[in-house]
Chain A
């Protein structure tokens, strides 16, 4: 499969405006159609290293993002999301079209990919073992994830951990990393050559920008990983670094609360999560310095307790 970057801009435009771009993200193929320049620009910039299927006749998800018609064409323009002939989201300001695409891609996976237990968690890997980081918004999860994957860790996902129901392995779905508000500046300062999408202000989550995922992580998207650790991160300004063991049964319950489809997949999800916790050391992790946090994670990957 060729990379999106092999398409000249007019070709990419033509695909997105016509039959659709069959974009491969991890195990999923999504047919994306859009005439919105923000979407086309965003895909050209943030999905350059991702693969697409030039001759596809099947996709897991079919999504169309279009600008509003009628008087909305002229006043406070909006973006609409169409999915299988339905409009599951309210329209958003046109300026938010690329963040909407990212939310839509998450929504497609979390609502339909039930051959996995899907956790709301970042997941990164080093030396064959993965750290799963479930955490609510504002915990610093994506910031820490962005820093780690620019410090030698492999990105599986900044948002969705896909746990195989049959074997418990973690399937990567590396996509742009969503950064919010102050995190954008933090990562710009931390990653010297950070490539980001245009920052979009005024979303429901504040200002959002997406960080280009490492090309090496995208190239290894077919390589699943074993779980090694479940770490609940919490950024707390000025705090000392604390890595406190978390009893496994408590960790199980907290991870289950951070799952998108735990109740949907039933007993198979219980078994998969139990296996994941069994294989993992579990911690609460408080940090204020990214450099210190990475040093601690590296020590874990080297086998330090």
Chain B
């Protein structure tokens, strides 16, 4: 199960499918693509969630709706977000 790390406020700005996120625990700023940001928003609103639940909630991506991420792709992004201390395992 994944959740947004306690204390993260996820202050952000978004332009053209890219986001900058302020890490309120480290003071760093991260440049994220929209897929990663959607995961953060989802976990912030509905977490904790399992990877499978995140995948299910995200649904198809892209304009055509055919770009369905798989669990392996999602796991890579989740691990990256964890390494940035933006999310954490419960």
- Expressed in whole angstroms, the Cα–Cα distance for A271 and B22 within the complex equals 9
Chain B contacts to A: CB under 8 angstroms? 9, 11, 13-16, 18-20, 22, 24, 27, 29, 31
Docked complex Cα distance between A250 and B13 (Å)? 12
Complex Cα spacing A271 to B12, Å: 8
Q: Pick the contact of B31: A249, A271, A274 (CB < 8 A).
A: A249
The count of residues in chain A whose C-beta lies closer than 8 Å to any C-beta of chain B is: 16
CB contact list, A273-288 vs B, under 8 A: 274, 277-278
Could you list 19 examples of A-B contacts with CB < 8 Å?
Answer: A247-B15, A247-B18, A248-B15, A248-B16, A249-B15, A249-B16, A249-B18, A249-B31, A262-B29, A263-B27, A266-B27, A267-B9, A270-B11, A270-B22, A270-B29, A274-B13, A274-B20, A277-B13, A277-B15
Complexed CA–CA distance, A249 and B18 (Å): 6
- Residue pair B11, A249 in contact (C-beta under 8 Å): no
The CA-CA distance from A170 to B37 in the complex, in Å, is 31
| A267-B22, A267-B24, A270-B22 known; A249+B14 contact, CB < 8 A | yes
Provide the residues of chain B in CB contact with A267, threshold 8 Å: 9, 11, 22, 24
9 closest pairs, A vs B, by CB? Answer: A249-B18, A248-B15, A274-B13, A270-B22, A252-B20, A253-B31, A249-B20, A249-B15, A247-B16
B88 to chain A, nearest CB (A): 20
Tell yes or no: A122 within 8 A of B by CB: no
Known: A247-B18, A270-B29. A252 touches B24 (CB 8 A): no
Q: Does A256 contact B (CB under 8 A)?
A: yes
Q: From DSSP, what is the main secondary structure of chain A's interface residues?
A: helix
Q: Whole-angstrom distance from the CB of B70 to the nearest CB of chain A?
A: 26
**Inter-chain residue pair count (beta carbon < 8 A):** 42
Cα–Cα, bound, A256→B11 (Å): 16
Report whether B31 and A250 are in contact in the complex, using a CB–CB cutoff of 8 Å. Answer: yes
Complex contact A249–B13 (CB within 8 A): yes
Chain B hits for A271, CB < 8 A: 11
How far does the Cβ of A251 sit from chain B's closest Cβ, in whole Å? 9
Q: Smallest distance from the beta carbon of B16 to chain A beta carbons, Å?
A: 5
Q: Interface code A241-257, partner B: CB below 8 Å = 1, 0 otherwise?
A: 00000011110110010
Residues A260-305 near B (CB distance < 8 A): 262-263, 266-267, 270-271, 274, 277-278
Closest A residue, CB atoms, query B12: A274
Expressed in whole angstroms, the Cα–Cα distance for A118 and B4 within the complex equals 31
Q: Which of A247, A262, A278 contacts B13 (CB 8 A)?
A: A278
Cα-based distance from A277 to B18 in the complex (angstroms): 13
A271-B11, A277-B13, A278-B13 known; A250-B18 Cβ under 8 A: yes
Report Cα–Cα, A277/B19, bound state, in Å.
12
